[in-house]
Amino acid sequence: MWRIRLDAPGGWLALEVRDADLLQTRFYTLQLPGGRLLELKLPDHNTWWLGLEDVHEQAVYLHGYGDRQLGQHKGIRAFAADSGIALWQQPELTFYGAEQGGLLAYNSRQEPANLLLLESRYGKVIQNDISQKEAAEQVQHYHKLRFEGVLYPHLYREGEDYYRQVHAFLVQALECEPVMALEYAETDTCLVVSYYKRAGENKLDNFLAVFDLNGFLHLNELLAGAIDGVGSDTFFIFMRNLYFVQNKTTLKAYSL
């Protein structure tokens, strides 16, 4: 599991799964909360140089690469989230972000670098004179609206006040010694904490624990073992379900 994107208003997850041995990439949609999994129907077998950009308004957007050494994105391909069928593509444009009226994109070969507004489902240009400042403001504003129903954890590092409070709670509740960083989220029914323990020289094990508001432990799972450092956004909460990827291979969901 390489990358996950969430369309909160529509209730869709888009997944990018990469196989480095076969140099193949597969893309899937998952409808929430039911969990119906569907693979995108890509028109060719050379999928390694494709990547997941976003999922928005029941469409999944993939990118290619203009400069593979630098990882520069180029091209937009759109697929229907509910069927996996190709909808449209714009090979010369690069995805910038989603806003309330559609997708923002740009052509890096053109100067000045004004952005275009594309219709989400058909890829048609609606507007072609959006400034970079206006585009950034629109994407930021829509991001807040788009993900207001999603709870992502707060990251606290060693030395910060809230880290010390949660650390002390975990030491008492789990009889362990968390290190380096914690991710914490709180709902009206539970506390969710992603924490790390030493696992040999220069390695860490990442665990995910769920407590009720009385401090009773309901879940304590290994997210990833023998990793090199701490991560961020190791889980999220949506529609009263907890989602996380275990060992980079398994997407799990628990009802909270």
Looking at the structure of the chain, the number of domains it has is: 2
pLDDT at 78: 97
| Same domain as 100, residue 54 | yes
Tokens of 172: 């008492």
Quote the tokens at residue 168. 């002390």
Q: Which is nearest to 224 in space by CA: 205, 243, 208, 250?
A: 205
Q: Are residues 235 and 201 in the same domain?
A: yes
Alpha-carbon gap, residue 62 to 33, rounded angstroms:
23
**Boundary (domain end) residue, out of 129, 146, 163:** 146
Same domain, 247 and 159: yes
Does one domain contain both 114 and 157?
Answer: no
pLDDT digits (tens, 9 = 90+) for 134-145: 999 999 999 999
pLDDT tens-digit profile of 78-98?
A: 999 999 999 999 999 999 999
- How much is the pLDDT for 40? 96
DSSP state of 172: H
CATH of the domain at 88: 2.40.128.630
Report the alpha-carbon distance of residue 125 to residue 106 in Å, rounded: 11
Instruction: Please provide the average confidence, as pLDDT, over all residues in the chain.
Output: 93
- Whether 59 contacts 93, CB under 8 Å: no
pLDDT digits (tens, 9 = 90+) for 15-61: 999 999 989 999 999 999 877 899 999 988 889 999 999 999 999 99
Domain boundary, last residue among 110, 125, 146: 146
Claim: this prediction has a pTM higher than 0.75 = yes
Distance CA 195, CA 53 (A): 29
- Asked if 29 and 117 sit in the same domain, the reply is yes
Does 136 lie in the same domain as 120? yes
Rounded distance between C-alpha atoms, residue 80 and residue 165, angstroms: 45
DSSP 8-state code for residue 3: E
In order of 30, 84, 122, 150, the CA distances from 58 in angstroms are 11, 10, 12, 18
Same domain, 186 and 136: no
Q: How confident is the model at residue 112 (pLDDT cuts 50, 70, 90)?
A: low
Q: What digits encode the pLDDT tens for the residues 212-225?
A: 999 999 999 999 99
Q: Indicate if 167 and 223 belong to the same structural domain.
A: yes
Nearest by Cα to 103 from 65, 137, 146, 61: 61
Q: What is the pLDDT of residue 46?
A: 84
Residue 70 pLDDT:
75
Buried b (16+ CB within 10 A) or exposed e, 223-233: bbeeeeebeee
43, 139: one domain:
yes
| Contact present, 11 and 5 (Cβ < 8 Å) | no
Q: Domain range for residue 241?
A: 151-255
79 plus 201 within the same structural domain: no
Task: Note the pLDDT of residue 201.
Answer: 86
Among candidate residues 89, 122, 146, the one where a domain is terminated:
146
Note whether 57 and 7 are within 8 A (CB).
yes
Whether residue 29 is found in the same domain as residue 121 = yes
Q: Are the beta carbons of 98 and 142 closer than 8 angstroms? A: yes
Which of 198, 240, 204 minimizes the C-alpha distance to 223? 204
What does the alpha-carbon distance between residue 121 and residue 69 come to, in Å, rounded to a whole number?
31
26/13 same-domain check? yes
